[in-house]
Amino acid sequence: MHEQMPHGVKITEIVEETPSIKTFIFDREIVARPGQFVMVWVPGVDEIPMALSTPSSITVQKVGDATAALFAMHEGDKIGLRGPYGNGFAVSGRTLVVAGGVGASPLLSLITAGQADTVLLGARTARELLFADKIRDYATLMVATDDGTAGHHGFVTELISRVDLADFAHICVCGPEPMMRAVLAILDREGCAERGQFSLHRYMKCGVGLCGSCCIDPHGLRVCRDGPVFTGDLLLESEFGHHARDASGSKHKI
């Protein structure tokens, strides 16, 4: 698929993964690296960035107008895709994955490719744990839930103390930004921030680095083009975990 041109794809299957998350499988495979994203056009509503969970699917949580419109779609409906964009994860050697909520989506293809050794997976409750059964087939899985209904009773960041970070060449992270910022703080304290790889989600318009709507302070890094995956050392002094921007470009606290 030419990355600059949107292509119509048909939704062939919709899987309810959790009460708030669905996977939309479409009739085209996109060759992409784990962590890359596509711009998804929901006809008549909006175009938004979405990570690929497999070469032929996106996994979506309903959080706004475009995702609500997706949730109202049925098998046989069409959406538009362009991409893939961004840099994705780059790993070699032993890899630790830390995922929270729907943040497991861009990490799934890394895991199913056999490139993750240990996965720390968190969610609010057991019913919201995403891809847990699939992950167990490929890696050692440790689970945390906010309400204690599965695994550790607490945040997924608290599981990091149960592994030896020195055993891992890379720590790949995706989830709510406050959670990722907490992981970065732990890595910084342990002197290994540069081994962390963090997948950011930001408001985007073009997806190709032209409009600047996804830039992050203070260096003007473009999430769509320079990311969406950044090493932790690049994010330490940035707005990561503190501020984001809306469609008007206004900054707001996370």
pLDDT digits (tens, 9 = 90+) for 161-205: 999 999 999 999 999 999 999 999 999 999 999 999 999 998 787
Residues 67 and 111 in one domain: no
Residues 74 and 139 in one domain: no
- Note whether residue 2 is domain-resident: no
214 marked as part of a ligand binding site: yes
pLDDT digits (tens, 9 = 90+) for 233-253: 999 988 887 777 777 777 788
192 marked as part of a ligand binding site: no
Token digits of residue 137? 């087939």
Residues 185 and 228 in one domain: yes
172 marked as part of a ligand binding site: no
Q: Mention every residue, 6+ apart, whose C-beta is less than 8 A from residue 137.
A: none
Token digits of residue 136? 């167990």
Q: Please provide the average confidence, as pLDDT, over all residues in the chain.
A: 93
Residues 76 and 127 in one domain: no
- In the chain, how many domains are there? 2
The range of the structural domain enclosing residue 100 comes to 95-253
Residues 128 and 158 in one domain: yes
The CATH number given to whatever domain includes residue 186 is: 3.40.50.80
- Note whether residue 1 is domain-resident: no
206 marked as part of a ligand binding site: yes
H helix intervals, 72-151: 105-112, 132-136
Domain boundary, last residue among 60, 85, 110: 85
One-letter-per-residue 3-state SS of 198-218: EECCCCCCCCCCCCCCCEECC
The CATH number given to whatever domain includes residue 57 is: 2.40.30.10
